[in-house]
Amino acid sequence: MRLDLMSRDAVAARIASGRRGVILPLGSLEPHAGPGALGTDAICAGAVAERAAERVGGIAAPALAYGMVQFHLGAPGCVSLRPSTLSALLFDAIVSLGMGGLTRVLLLTGHGGNAAPAQAAIQEVMAEVSLGRLRFPAPVSAKLRAWWEGPRLAALRRELYGDREGFHVTPSEVAIAMTVHPALAVPRDAWPAWRAVAHDPLHDLGGDRHEDAARHAARFPDGPIGSDPSLATAEDGERLLDAAAQDVAEAFAAFEAAPDQSAR
C-alpha cells in the first residue's frame, strides 16, 4: 500500500490493529552518466519499497526525490540538499509519522550519500526522546537500510555483473530503472566504456563519502564509478527488483513485528 493513496481512517485502522510500520524510500536527483536518468536512485528505492510492502501487507511512503549529492553540484539538472537540510527533513518526517502512530520507520535509501544525514536524523530523534522533549503514542524506532543490501540481491548482482557492478551508475540500478520505466532502455553503446577504478584512500566509494564536486568530476569524468551500465537489461531488472524486494520485505516484517523493549 502507498501511504499517499490511503485515507486517514485507513491508516488509523492499521495502527489500531498493531501495524505501525512504514517504509520511507530515499533517492536523489543526480547524473547517472550519459543516458542515465537523473532520478534513478529514487526510482529504484521507490520500486523496491512498494514491492516489498506488497509482499508483507505493509505501507510504503512516496519516495523522496532529493538527496545529498554535493559532489555532483554543477551538473545539469542536479539538485542537492545540504547534509543538515536532509537530516532536518528526515527528522521532521520521522517525528511526524511517529506522532501519528507510525512508530516503526524504515528509511530505505537508494543513494549512499544519504546515509550519514539519515543516521544523524535518527539520532536527533532519539536525543529528543532521551531529553524528554518528545513523546509518542508508542516508542519510536527508525533504522536505515539500502535497497541493495540483502543476501538474495547480493548473490544475483555477483552472478550477473561480477566486478563490473561498481559503485555508481551500476548495471543493477540501471536495469531496475529500465524495468520500472521501459522508455529508459537505451542501446548498449550509448553508455561510457567500462574502466576499473584504482583504490584511493581519500575516498570511500561504497559510502559516497566524496570530496568536493570539482575533484569528483576530475576523477570520474564519465560518471560511472567502476561500473558497466551497458550490461543492464530490463529482463535482469525484473529479477533484481524481485530479489531486492524479498530481502527488504523480510527485514521490514521483522522490524515491524519486533516487540518494544521496556525502559529500565
Question: What is d(CA 117, CA 132) in angstroms, rounded to the nearest whole number?
Answer: 23
Confidence of residue 263 (pLDDT cuts 50, 70, 90): very low
Question: What is d(CA 39, CA 42) in angstroms, rounded to the nearest whole number?
Answer: 5
Place of cell 529508459: 184
User: Which amino acid is located at 12 in the chain?
Assistant: A
- pLDDT tens digits for 226-238? 999 999 999 999 9
Residue 144 pLDDT > 50: yes
- Please report, in angstroms and rounded to a whole number, the separation of the first and last CA atoms in the chain: 36
- pLDDT tens digits for 12-28? 999 999 999 999 999 99
Confidence of residue 202 (pLDDT cuts 50, 70, 90): low
Average pLDDT over residues 43-56: 98
Average pLDDT over residues 81-100: 98
User: Which amino acid is located at 162 in the chain?
Assistant: G
- Domain borders along the chain are 3-256
Average pLDDT over residues 147-162: 98
Average pLDDT over residues 199-210: 65
pLDDT at 208: 61
For residue 169, give the DSSP letter. S
C-alpha cell at 96: 511526524
Cβ within 8 Å of residue 235, ≥6 positions away: none
Residue 35 pLDDT > 90: yes
Here the contacts of 89-96 (C-beta below 8 Å, separation 24 or greater) are 89/64, 89/121, 90/26, 90/117, 90/118, 90/121, 90/122, 91/121, 91/124, 91/125, 93/24, 94/121, 94/122, 94/125, 94/140, 94/142, 95/125, 95/128, 95/134
For residue 162, give the DSSP letter. G
Question: What is d(CA 98, CA 170) in angstroms, rounded to the nearest whole number?
Answer: 34
DSSP helix/strand/coil, 105: strand
pLDDT at 264: 38
- pLDDT tens digits for 106-125? 999 999 999 999 999 999 99
* H or E element that contains 106: strand 104-109
Residue 206 pLDDT > 80: no
Cβ within 8 Å of residue 237, ≥6 positions away: 174, 175, 176, 177, 178, 179, 180
pTM across the whole model: 0.95
Residues forming beta bridges with residue 36, ordered by sequence position: 32
pLDDT at 203: 65
- Its CATH architecture, for the domain 3-256, is 3-Layer(aba) Sandwich (3.40)
Average pLDDT over residues 75-104: 98
Residue 204 pLDDT > 70: no
Mean pLDDT of the chain: 94
Share above pLDDT 90 across residues of the chain, in percent, rounded to a whole number: 90
